[in-house]
């Protein structure tokens, strides 16, 4: 039989990879996970209260600097689906039509840029926030996040908040995450292998879809519960929770430097903005 090499599509789309650091070492990879979490949290709060161009620019500069230092290649970005581009274009178009200050004159026509600028501002804000979270995901080993949270939350223990419990829960969830994703893939594949029955009426079709959804959820939840119970047995066999990590990591000089740079940059941005009154 002749073989038609029709298999591969012209350009495969890049998948979304979750919670696996980019291989390689760099200064950002070596930073303590707690520093990265603090920086991300701080900048997010800053941007929420001061979403002006100056602060967005400063945050974007920090993000790009971190990306360069960590030597993250362009391939990490998942392919952006076409519908997202369409939605963005539509939003930009309608915002641009509205006009508003500042106005510029171009070839005798007065174009109001206000609406478009604001739309761009919100888009830039969202992208910078996503980028911050992504940097943590791309440069941090998942095993360090649980202990980092436990250390960061230590002052909260005074308020009798069970931070240790939460850190253990987070560490276990991160451990179980890849296993559960694999099992869900198998569940979904097993469903695909089954023959499909097309029922006659539309009502029967709706009911069948609802039942299928419930079945899928029940299967997924049973699988998760079983994993959870097995892990619970393993925890009991180890005598309960306790230490999370063999070599506790302490913040080093690089971490303090990073935090200092972030605070300085944010302070300068806020000051500049208040002085300039560029936004209100």
Partner 1 sequence: MGALCAVIAIISVVIPFAAGLALLGTVPTGLLAYRYRLRVLLAATVAAGMIAFLIAGMGGFMTVIHCVYIGGLTGFVKRKGRGTLTVIVLSLIAGVAFGAASVGALTVMTRLRHLIFEVLTANVNGVAAFLTRVHMQKAAVDLTRYFAWALHYWQWWMLVYYGLGVMVVSLIGWWALSRLLERMRGLPDVHKLDAWDGSKNEEAPVGPVPVRLDKVRFRYPGASQDALREVSLDLQVGEHVAVTGANGSGKTTLMLILAGRRPTSGTMERPGTVGLGKLGGTALVLQHPESQVLGTRVADDVVWGLPPGTETDVGRLLSEVGLEALAERDTGSLSGGELQRLALAAALAREPALLIADEVTTMVDQRGRDALLGVLSGLTKRHRTALVHITHYNNEADSAERRIDLSDSPDNTGMVETSAPPVPAVAVDYRQHAPVIELVGVGHEYGIGTPWAKTALRDINFVVEQGDGVLIHGGNGSGKSTLAWIMAGLTIPTAGACLMDGRPTHEQVGAVALSFQAARLQLMRSRVDLEVASAAGFSHRDTDRVAAALGVVGLDPTLAKRRIDQLSGGQMRRVVLAGLLACSPRALILDEPLAGLDAASQRGLLRLLEDLRRERGLTVVVISHDFAGLEDLCPRTLHLRNGALEPLSTTAGGRA
Shortest approach of partner 1 to residue 134 CB, angstroms?
8
Alpha helix positions (H), 140-201: 145-152, 163-192
> Should residue 109 be labelled a site residue for partner 1 when binding is judged by CB under 8 A?
no
Which residue in the set 28, 136, 265, 269 belongs to the binding site for partner 1 (CB under 8 A)? 136
Residue 140: closest CA among 80, 74, 72, 75: 72
For residue 262 the two structure tokens come to 């972030």
Residue 265: closest CA among 75, 72, 57, 70: 57
Residues in the chain: 280
Cis geometry, peptide bond prior to residue 102 (ω within 30 degrees of 0): yes
Which residue in the set 174, 249, 254, 270 belongs to the binding site for partner 1 (CB under 8 A)? 174
Shortest approach of partner 1 to residue 256 CB, angstroms?
23
Question: With contact defined as beta carbons under 8 Å apart, do 101 and 117 qualify?
Answer: no
Residues 220-279 touching partner 1, rule: CB under 8 A, are 220-247, 279
The stretch among 62-70, 102-110, 117-125, 249-257 that binds partner 1 (CB under 8 A) is 117-125
Which residue in the set 10, 12, 275, 277 belongs to the binding site for partner 1 (CB under 8 A)? 12
What is the rounded distance in angstroms from the CA atom of residue 149 to the CA atom of residue 157? Answer: 12
Question: With contact defined as beta carbons under 8 Å apart, do 153 and 189 qualify?
Answer: no
Shortest approach of partner 1 to residue 264 CB, angstroms?
22
> Should residue 155 be labelled a site residue for partner 1 when binding is judged by CB under 8 A?
no
Shortest approach of partner 1 to residue 182 CB, angstroms?
9
Give me the phi and psi of 237, to 5 degrees please.
Answer: -65, -25
Residues 19-38 touching partner 1, rule: CB under 8 A, are 19-20, 22-24
Residues 178-207 touching partner 1, rule: CB under 8 A, are 178-181, 183-184, 186-187, 189-195, 197
């Amino acid at each position: 039989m002749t073989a038609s090499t029709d298999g591969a599509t012209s350009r495969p789309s890049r998948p979304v990879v979750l919670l696996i650091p980019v291989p390689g070492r760099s200064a950002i990879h070596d930073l303590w996970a707690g520093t990265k979490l603090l920086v991300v949290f701080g900048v997010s709060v800053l941007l929420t209260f001061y979403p002006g161009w100056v602060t967005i620019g400063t945050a974007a500069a920090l993000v790009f600097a971190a990306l360069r230092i960590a030597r993250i290649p362009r391939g990490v970005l998942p392919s952006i689906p076409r519908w997202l581009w369409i939605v963005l274009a539509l939003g930009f178009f309608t915002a641009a039509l509205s006009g508003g200050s500042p106005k510029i004159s171009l070839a005798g026509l007065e174009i109001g840029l206000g609406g478009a600028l604001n739309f761009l501002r919100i888009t830039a804000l969202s992208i910078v926030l996503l980028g911050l979270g992504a940097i943590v995901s791309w440069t941090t080993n998942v095993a360090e996040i649980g202990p980092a949270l436990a250390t960061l939350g230590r002052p909260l223990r005074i308020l009798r908040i069970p931070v240790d419990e939460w850190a253990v829960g987070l560490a276990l969830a991160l451990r179980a995450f890849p296993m559960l994703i694999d099992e869900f893939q198998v569940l979904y594949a097993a469903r695909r292998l089954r023959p499909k029955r097309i029922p006659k009426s539309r009502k029967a079709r709706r009911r069948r879809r609802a039942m299928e959804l419930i079945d899928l959820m029940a299967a997924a939840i049973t699988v998760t519960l079983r994993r959870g119970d097995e892990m619970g047995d393993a925890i009991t066999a180890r005598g309960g929770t306790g230490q999370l990590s063999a070599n506790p990591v302490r913040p080093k000089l690089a971490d303090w430097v990073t935090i200092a740079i972030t605070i300085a940059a944010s302070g300068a941005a806020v000051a500049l903005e208040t002085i300039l009154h560029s936004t209100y």
